[in-house]
Amino acid sequence: KQWYQRRVREGLLHRFTYLLHLYRADRNKWDQLKGFYELVGQMLARSVLNNIPLDLNLPEYVYNYILGGGKKVLADLEKTDKALFNIFNNMTDEEFRSLQCPFLETIINPYNQRTVEVPLKPIYDPEEFVTDKKGFLKLKARKTLYEFPKEELDAMKEGFRKVFPLNFRNFLTPKELGFLVCGQSELNYQDWRECAEHDRSISQTTKSWFWECVRSFTQEDRRALLHFVTGMSTLPFGGFSKLPGAKFKISEKFADVDSCLPTTATCFNTLYLPPYSSEEIMRKKLLIAIRYGSKGFTFG
């Protein structure tokens, strides 16, 4: 799980943020890239099949595209780049015309980091300015969301369908597919505690202090704790009872008590806690471990 999550975050899907800003004329290695994006689609499908959520934040329109849904251009732009949409949408028509916007999109090529101006129309006239605000937003959305990254999106869709050849559009919405891929990010304290297992070696005091720490943690720190112990930052569909591999488990770590940090066995979703001398020390050690020691095999 931990290796899988790390490869997704660091080696693959972090590059998807560039999909909205591609300039096709500079890409000479599409045969290699096509395989990469097919793999992304397959990993999305595998996350659903294996019930192992991915730590992603893909736009909803991507899931809609994979499912073969129709394009809702303005709605997709609003969800993907709400700040940009609101800036233009809140302008009066007169204010928009005064900007004298050309039919150009300024983008950054992710393959060489150069800024490039791409025409939004097949025939571009530098003396022509946009006068229709709504039409401009539709044109911009259609180009940046669908036309520029079309081959990448098609490759992702093809990769997804290789794992799931069925037509999911009949019984899954894009939002539901996104939930199955990304999992549940809101971690409920009561559900967590009820579904956890406690080793016989752990004392009642240590157990009580630990759950008081979890109860007081922010959602961000709870996700960091979950990731530290399981290798996942979100929960699969079904919550804590559906954690892959094993239930969340707390066991005692016999060590030089207050000087040691907690350790984990992510393959077994097990947290090893030293019997600290106070709840405050436990909280301090837990926060150090989950904030600085939850990124794979990089902390000692």
- Which residues are catalytically annotated? 267
Cα gap 107→105, rounded to integer Å: 6
Can you count the helices (H) and strands (E) in the chain? 13, 6
Q: For strands 115-119 and 104-108, give the pairing.
A: antiparallel
8 Å CB contact between 188 and 63: no
DSSP secondary structure string for all residues of 203-244? -HHHHHHHHHHHHHS-HHHHHHHHHHHHS-SSBPTTGGGG-S
HSE of 253, CA atoms in CB hemisphere, 13 A = 20
Residues contacting residue 118 through CB under 8 Å, at least 6 positions apart:
23, 104, 105, 106, 107, 143, 148
Residue pair 96/133 in contact (Cβ under 8 Å)? The answer is: yes
CA 1/CA 51 separation, integer angstroms: 11
